[in-house]
Amino acid sequence: MLSSQKYDGYYQRMNLSRIILSRLLQAIPTMLGVATMVFFLLHLVPGDPVDALLGETAMAADREALRHALHLDEPLLQQYVHYLMGLFTGNWGTSLIDHRDVLERMLERIPATASLAAVSLLLAVILALPLGYWAARHAGKYQDTVAMGGALLGVSVPNFWLGPVLMLVFAVGLGWLPVSGMHQPGSMVLPAITLGTALVAVLSRMARSSWLEAMSMDAMRTARAFGVSESTIWWRHAGRIALVPVTTMFALQLGAVLGGAVITETVFDWPGLGLLTIEAIQRRDYPLVQGCVLIIALFYILANLLADIITIWLDPRQRQQPA
């Protein structure tokens, strides 16, 4: 019996490793597809980076010299091949505006985006779970209606509208918080609320439905029949089951938070990766735009991989499935 249990545990660990390896291998063509799509779409967008650098009144000879120096006079397919070779060798290109390494510029901005995303996610977890529990505990009552109505409003309100409204009320009107930037006290508050509001709404609605589904199981009725207290059933027994889909949804939302940071950082002039992406697009800085989009796509892929791993870890039945 013991050897059988050891074999089952070994099989589950090996299957888990195969699943993770399979997800990582699937990420390679996904990243290649993202890189290809971004490269060709950027070159289809109207505008010329030479005009952004020299202006439309520059002499033709200067324009051609700069175009040759930036390899923009090469055929598009040849530029694409050079771009892919650079990605595989770790050379993501040089910014067309300030001639700095693309990776170096992105690494300077990632900490600001990471800190904003971390605070937003922490805010979402602190608010979403109690709100979902409160709505589930009072399902069908006015407390449930108020909580889920607020969650629906949070999902419906876009970042580009919520951010300016918060700025007008708390920064311009009341003067409690700074308008923009990240170096003043309290500068993190408004961007974090703007970025985390939608996540709070999504997670709270998921927590409510998961809790109600868990409480409808036979195991909860059995625990109640044995005299287990309601608070213990709700938090210890049903809470564990409800945590599985909520945790999976949380992991999936990691990538969405990074994508939403593009709008939030632009609204609040937050010097992160999202604002850098917008600046690069406005200046037609092809290498920098490609690098920023690839980093965001990579975070999406890693977030989905993390969601798969968490799901498999929380639900042992997933480990029995083939990779």
Mean pLDDT of 72-92: 79
pTM of the model: 0.75
Mean pLDDT of 53-78: 72
Judge residue 175's burial from the number of C-beta atoms within 10 Å of its C-beta, 0-12 exposed, 13-18 middle, 19 or more buried.
Answer: exposed
Minimal CA–CA distance to 155: which of 93, 197, 112, 209? 197
Lowest-pLDDT choice from 9-23, 28-42, 161-175, 269-283: 9-23
Please, which pLDDT band fits residue 314 given cuts at 50, 70 and 90? low
Higher pLDDT, 107 or 92: 107
pLDDT at 1: 44
Mean pLDDT of the chain: 78
Q: Contact at 8 Å (CB) between 87 and 297? A: no
Q: What is the pLDDT of residues 143-155, one digit of tens each?
A: 878 888 887 777 7
Per-residue pLDDT for 319 more than 60? Answer: no
Q: Integer distance in angstroms from the first to the last C-alpha of the chain?
A: 27
pLDDT at 6: 52
Count the alpha carbons within 13 Å of 67 in the hemisphere toward its beta carbon: 14
Higher pLDDT, 293 or 255: 293
Mean pLDDT of 287-293: 83
Cα separation of 203 and 131, whole Å? 9
Per-residue pLDDT for 9 more than 60? Answer: no
Higher pLDDT, 262 or 309: 262
pLDDT at 53: 63
Domains delineated in the chain: 30-91 (no CATH), 109-320 (1.10.3720.10)
pLDDT at 2: 44
Per-residue pLDDT for 16 more than 80? Answer: no
DSSP label of 184 = S
Sign of the dihedral defined by the CA atoms of residues 110, 111, 112, 116, in that order: positive
